[in-house]
Structure 1
């Protein structure tokens, strides 16, 4: 994969991010946290984004594609909705620009070559193939984000549970819910799990399943309120790393069962 960000991608990303964030301080923080090199460029928001991305191409000490992925991650992982009409069209514009350059965006800030490269496999592909080492790697990546970006860690944890539920539903030939978010998906899976035939153990197992349901509900609610995939304004509610770490480890418990 090319290590340089194509000019057409720089143009699309700069325009979309400038229109969505429209804040110099927010863009400054976004680029610096993403590893963009050097001091803050001069100019308006769009010019600033463009200059910083071009600088990444010219700096041999950084991986331009990695920086780009981190810069667009929060915006690309948002779920479009009525609350902000700019998200959906903006995401499509960036995806189209990447596609013209044989590139694709994956959740959590990964940009890869479009096509059948193993790197482009989704979480669902890993589950279907029984590739649990890759699933563990996804959790490790989520944990690695806890201190730097707890919101993204929450989003990743929720996405892994969703992928597990979708794979379970497809594997067992169950009816996929119309709303494919973590709550409805888990309800289908939980109903299919069944209970032990012994009446005494049924009650015990029911308590365990209720506990698992509470974890799923909690992680899903976290993602809605503070995760990077759901928009709650430019400045989401604060979360400390320990809270994100709890959510990721709880999600891991769900998945490895």
Structure 2
């Protein structure tokens, strides 16, 4: 789960909200159901799909469900907890009533935020992430990646978010890979030649030139200098993230007695900087080539020789 590595601690309010959403509330209530009403057998099936064995017997639906969820929290089983929360807001359960699905996500997030977690939509799915990693730019990049086949970028971004707190060196390495993967993907889509040296600066230079993003490129007179200043900053961002990966990341291994050089703040700085640049490159590529069909093919540079 992106950015979630510590033992989960759901508040009673969040547990109650989950119970209301998953069970659909009391069958005798006059109030409209927040989630989807599920009978006892349906609740057993729901929890079983999440890896939790729950037997209703003659017990009441909602207290039994609450006890089962509290047991998962008490065990510190973060993977199962993630499955339960994400399944509770699964968009596939709200086909034909998307507004209700959005309301469920909002209802849960109003409680989850106090547990430092949040649900966010990614394409056709929802994902539970650490609220501290939920910067708008990261969410925007995730949404931009959803409809295109840049799967390597998605994996690099997920890995960077997941390790920001527990392993900031690895997170920085993955943040750098986000930019490299976006550049390599665009190079492949545009049938450009890979640079002989495939480091972040060389890859970015090829993409920058192809998309007309060199600081010296001409723009409208009234904004030319401003845009050139921002583009110069992008070059500095690329150089900085690349250097941080070299000096503070773990791309080149770790020596015996390794001591941490960076902390989660720096890791998140690298993630957000890399995400901003990656999103800008993707949006610029899509703007300049709106009719280009995405090619469902691998990066030839990563394929084994025949």
Q: TM-score, normalising length from structure 2?
A: 0.39
Bigger radius of gyration among the two? 2
Structure with greater helix share of residues: 1
Q: TM-score, normalising length from structure 1?
A: 0.46
